[in-house]
Structure 1
Amino acid sequence: MNKLLTALPLLLLAACASQPPGATADGAAAAGSAAAADAGSEWQALRAKYMDCTQKKANDNLSAKGHSKDVADLALSACQPELDAMHNAFRSYLDAQMSSSHGKSSARQAAARVTSDTRDKARNYLVRYVERERYLARQN
């Protein structure tokens, strides 16, 4: 996670540096900023949708036999299309910011890393969530 926090500002700095000359005209910059904001919020909304999906799928399988990790893995598998949509939206968002081939390569790496980190974060959360919910169900 620390690597992501370090890499993201560097990617944004590279994005700013890789803009072609003359691309900062007021009208183009305003239109570009609005489009970038929409794309930026799109992938974040898809990330939230993925996290909601995983929690719903885990809730559906709370009573299933097996370890909490197994329930979490089932939920992650069921929500893979949502994760793929988030990955594609984030990659498109970063690709739009990059003009050099090096920048586009960095965008691919960053999208893969964010996707992996999101999946890992969801897995860790779900395992604890399932354990907690099962514990509470036994208490009642």
Structure 2
Amino acid sequence: MKSVLALIPVTLLAAACASHAPADSQASAEANEQWQSLRAAYTTCAKDQADAGMSGRASAQDLAASALKACQPRLDAMRTAFREYLDAQMVSSHGRDGARQAADRVSRDTEAKTRNYLVRYVEQERYTARQ
């Protein structure tokens, strides 16, 4: 009888956790989708800015830098959304510090990859236009 009574709280706890899991996983999936769509919007913004300055005489590197600077608020929004996504999954303050570092690293990587893409893109588009 004691073992049955001991199982009741465990069963109730398991049921309570199970009832919250889909909502939590749904929120997590939505947060994941949000930061990734913000990253895509940042890349699109940078490409659009580069396209707008394509006819100028700025070097490909300078044009890429200018485009990235114009889209900086979108990168900041992506960093914040990614940090919030990770923070929601972390329990400890140590985990939250790691989330902050990861968000900063993802932002730097996104910016660097976008910069490299833009430089190659501008060079290719200008080369094609001269043909």
- TM-score normalised to structure 2 length: 0.87
1:132 aligns with 2:127: no
Runs of 4+ aligned structure 1 residues displaced above 3 Å come to none
- Structure-2 residue corresponding to 1:60: 52
Q: Percent identity, please.
A: 55
Structure with more relative contact order (C-alpha pairs < 8 Å, separation 6 or more): 1
Q: Which runs of 5+ in 2 are unaligned?
A: 1-12
Deviation digits for residues 52-103 of structure 1 (CA, Å, limit 9, x no counterpart):
0000000000111121000000000000011011000000000000010110
Number of the residue aligned with 1:28 = 20
Q: For 1:87 and 1:66, locate their aligned partners in 2 and report how far apart those are by CA, in whole Å.
A: 29
Q: CA RMSD in A?
A: 1.3
Compare CA radii of gyration and give the structure with the larger one: 2
The answer for unaligned runs of 5 or more in structure 1 is 1-20
